[in-house]
A and B are shown apart, each in its own frame.
Chain A
Amino acid sequence: MRARGPGLAAPEAEVDDDVLVRRAVMGDRGAFAAIVERHGPALHRYARRLLHDDGATEDCVQETFLAAWRALPRFRGDAALRTWLFTLARHQAYAQHRTAAGNRTRPQLRAVDPVDLVDTVDPRSDPADVSEEGQLLDDLDAALRLLPERQRSAWILREVEELSYSEIGAVLDVTPTAVRGLLERARASLVTTLAAWR
């Protein structure tokens, strides 16, 4: 017997990621469900802003987590679980994009022409129905769509998901210095776009 104390009671919601990973590797689906609960909303938020399509986002997030479930036994823990999941999600988003390339309603990873956003950016046709905060979020989403994918990803992962530069570099497969450049350009573009719209 080895005793460690005082320890912590460990309902899954409070267990560290590395413990959840070890349990999921052993086939513990409850631990995997806890991983989904913990990281799912962020992955969905990220994928939604890469793909701008509810169906494609759902497919992307599902395939990301299923890929993670299958690959967990080979996950070496070199990167944080969260970084690994975002990397899988980005790859999956590109896969979704390729799969949908022949469809009329293709998900959009690349920056769009502002003219194409006229319809989608107009949730303010009835101001009484849209809160000021909702308008602000819609404007931000639309401004993000104007950014090239790497700038968009870098900005979301840094400013919204609060990953470090090196973690973002791992997701985007670029150096931390390159991340810094992407972020500077993304911030400048977002400020310029919002200033023009508001």
Chain B
Amino acid sequence: MSAEEDLARATGLLRAHTDSSWAGVREALLQRAAAAFRPSAPVRGRHALGDFFVAADVVVAQLRAAVDAVPAATAVRIVCTTGEADVLEQVVVELSVRFGESLQEVAATVREAVGARLGDLLGPLSPGVAAVRADLHVTDVDLP
């Protein structure tokens, strides 16, 4: 076998190779990333004692949980937009919806769920259901 052939074969082997130490690195890395601090945008809320702030990460996580509780729908992406004084103005929820479901019904259910969760989180400063946009991706399509 020529050196060129050796190199080509070794290259293919390296391309398919995963260093044995990667598994340990991966575990440690995910643990460190989970604990790593990264500033999150504030979202203003209000209750009887005054205003408070909730991290955008927390808002998104709460909304994701609310959406995922809706049958046949899964949150693919949730984007919050804040305006002046960090007041939440809009929420866009990208949804993956099982093929065959009524899109309008699923979207309406999701909007209600998101609106309710926003009310719980932010109080009177919740933008309400009208500010929630649902973008649907239909999945698991089975054409005849």
Binding site for B on A (CB under 8 A): 1-10, 15, 19, 22-23, 26-29, 32-33, 36-37, 40-41, 44-45, 48, 54, 57-58, 61-62, 65-66, 69-70, 73, 133, 136-137, 139-140, 159-160, 162, 187, 190-192, 194-195, 198
B21: nearest chain-A partner, CB-CB = A54
Please give me the residue from chain A that is nearest to B99 by CB atom.
Answer: A6
Contacts of B18 in A (CB 8 A): 41, 44-45
Chain A interface mostly: helix
Compute how far the CA of A71 lies from the CA of B125 in the bound complex, rounded to whole angstroms. 30
- Chain A residues with CB below 8 A from B107, complex form: 1
- Chain B residues contacting A26 (CB-CB under 8 Å) are 56-57, 60, 77-80
**In the assembled complex, B30 has its CB within 8 A of some CB on chain A:** yes
Q: List 22 A-B contacts (CB under 8 A).
A: A1-B135, A2-B135, A3-B136, A5-B141, A6-B99, A7-B137, A8-B139, A10-B137, A22-B77, A27-B60, A37-B26, A40-B26, A41-B22, A44-B21, A57-B21, A62-B32, A66-B32, A69-B33, A69-B38, A70-B36, A136-B13, A191-B7
Contacts of B4 in A (CB 8 A): 191
Closest A residue, CB atoms, query B39? A73
> Which of B19, B60, B103 has a CB less than 8 Å from the CB of A1?
B103
16 more contacts with CB within 8 A, not counting A33-B30, A194-B6, are: A1-B136, A5-B141, A7-B96, A9-B139, A26-B60, A26-B80, A41-B18, A44-B18, A45-B14, A65-B29, A66-B36, A69-B38, A73-B38, A136-B9, A194-B3, A194-B10
**A27: which B residues are within 8 A, CB to CB?**
38, 40, 55-57, 60-61
Chain B residues with CB under 8 Å of chain A are 1-4, 6-7, 9-11, 13-15, 17-19, 21-22, 24-26, 28-30, 32-34, 36, 38, 40, 55-57, 60-61, 74, 76-80, 96, 99, 103-104, 107, 133-141
The 10 tightest CB contacts between A and B, nearest first, are A7-B137, A5-B138, A27-B57, A195-B3, A6-B141, A140-B10, A9-B139, A1-B107, A3-B136, A194-B3
A139 smallest CB distance to B (angstroms) = 7
By beta carbon, the residue of chain B nearest A192 is B3
Contact A44-B25, Cβ < 8 Å, known A1-B107, A26-B60, A191-B7: yes
Contact of B137 among A8, A159, A190 (CB under 8 A): A8
In the complex, the answer to whether A137 meets B14 with C-beta atoms within 8 Å is yes
Asked if B7 contacts A140 (CB within 8 A), the reply is yes
